[in-house]
Amino acid sequence: MPLFGSKFSPKKTPHRKSSVNVNSDKLLEDLVGDQRLVKINLNGQELIFENGEWIPSSGKNSSTHKLNQKLRKKLAELQEENNLLKVKYELVLNMLTQATAESQVMERELEVLKKSSRIKSPYK
């Protein structure tokens, strides 16, 4: 009688032998054919499933969808341009702040030099 084991130990199952050797790519190609697009027709409007979303390819909403796609693209471009302009604005503002601070420091130094030159020259 084993101390730490159990009496029951099932036999390992033998590996299954494959009777048919099927290439999955070939099977998929046979099933789908040349078309890899999913199309449906709902009430006279045809939709195609591409890149995770349904896109109307015909019907009354097709032109609206195309216009929306163009507007989304333009919106993305304008947002990128706006972000770039914000960065440029911040850069110019920082440069202006730095130049103002440097000019104020130089004015203070000039005032100090003027006062020290008045004190040192008693002949004026």
pLDDT digits (tens, 9 = 90+) for 97-118: 999 999 999 999 999 998 888 8
Distance CA 117, CA 74 (A): 64
What is the percent of the chain where pLDDT is above 90?
Answer: 35
Question: In the predicted model, what is the mean pLDDT of residues 73-97?
Answer: 97
- In terms of Cβ atoms closer than 10 Å to its own Cβ (0-12, 13-18, 19+), residue 57 is middle
Give pTM, 2 decimals.
Answer: 0.48
Residues 6+ apart with CB under 8 A from 48: 37, 38, 39, 54, 55, 56, 57
Higher pLDDT, 25 or 93: 93
DSSP state of 47: E
Distance CA 99, CA 86 (A): 20
Instruction: Round the average pLDDT of the chain to a whole number and report it.
Output: 81
pLDDT recorded at residue 96? 97
